[in-house]
Structure 1
Amino acid sequence: MNTTLEIQNLKCGGCANTIVTRLNELTEISDVKVDNASNSVSFNHSTEAELETVTSLLTKLGYPVAGDKNALTTKAKSFVSCAVGRMGK
């Protein structure tokens, strides 16, 4: 099934690169796309457990799902993820 999640702290192509790279490392996740204009990420998965894995990883990277807690430490993680994504381009 295809899912699109609105996420927080998405700022640029560096952020998008980190998200795509890290989600593509999950063998059960495919067709990852990030849309900076709508602050969203879409992907294919088969189970609810895989969806939970993705949302957990996004939060760990600093991009929690819209409506979830977005603490200062989470925002800081997004800046680090963004920088890593820019270097990985």
Structure 2
Amino acid sequence: MRTSVIVQNLKCGGCANTITNKLSEIKNISDVNVDVEASKVSFHYIEEADALHVKEKLKHIGYPSVEQENTMRSKTKSFISCATGKFK
């Protein structure tokens, strides 16, 4: 099935690269697409637990979904993830 998550702190192609790379590593997740302008991450998943794992992974790398708290720690992590994504 396909779903989308609206995330916070998504600013540029570096962020998109990091998100795509990190989510592509998750078992049962495929066809990851990041729309920077809409702050939306779309992907295919097999089981509901897989989609929940994606939301947790996004939060862990600094891109919490809109219904999650956007802490200073998340903002800092997204800054680092963005910079890392620009060099890959």
Bin of the TM-score, shorter chain as denominator length: over 0.9
Unaligned runs of 5+ in 1: none
* Aligned mates of 1:65, 1:26 — CA distance in 2: 18
Deviation at 1:47, TM superposition (A): 0.9
* Aligned mates of 2:23, 2:68 — CA distance in 1: 19
Q: Which residue of 2 aligns with 1:49?
A: 49
* Aligned mates of 1:57, 1:67 — CA distance in 2: 15
Q: Which residue of 2 aligns with 1:36?
A: 36
TM-score, with length taken from structure 1: 0.96
Any residues of structure 2 matched to 1:67-78 within 5 Å, and which?
A: 67-78=67-78
Q: 1:51 corresponds to which letter in structure 2?
A: A
Q: 2:81 corresponds to which letter in structure 1?
A: S
Q: Which residue of 1 aligns with 2:60?
A: 60
* Aligned mates of 1:9, 1:16 — CA distance in 2: 11
Q: Which residue of 2 aligns with 1:25?
A: 25
* Aligned mates of 2:46, 2:25 — CA distance in 1: 16
Deviation at 1:26, TM superposition (A): 1.1
User: Percent of aligned positions with the same letter in both sequences?
Assistant: 47
Unaligned runs of 5+ in 2: none
Count residues in correspondence: 88
Alpha carbon RMSD of aligned pairs, Å?
A: 0.6
* Aligned mates of 1:60, 1:25 — CA distance in 2: 14
TM-score, with length taken from structure 2: 0.97
* Aligned mates of 1:73, 1:5 — CA distance in 2: 20
Please list every run of at least 4 consecutive aligned residues from structure 1 whose deviation after the TM superposition is greater than 2 angstroms.
none
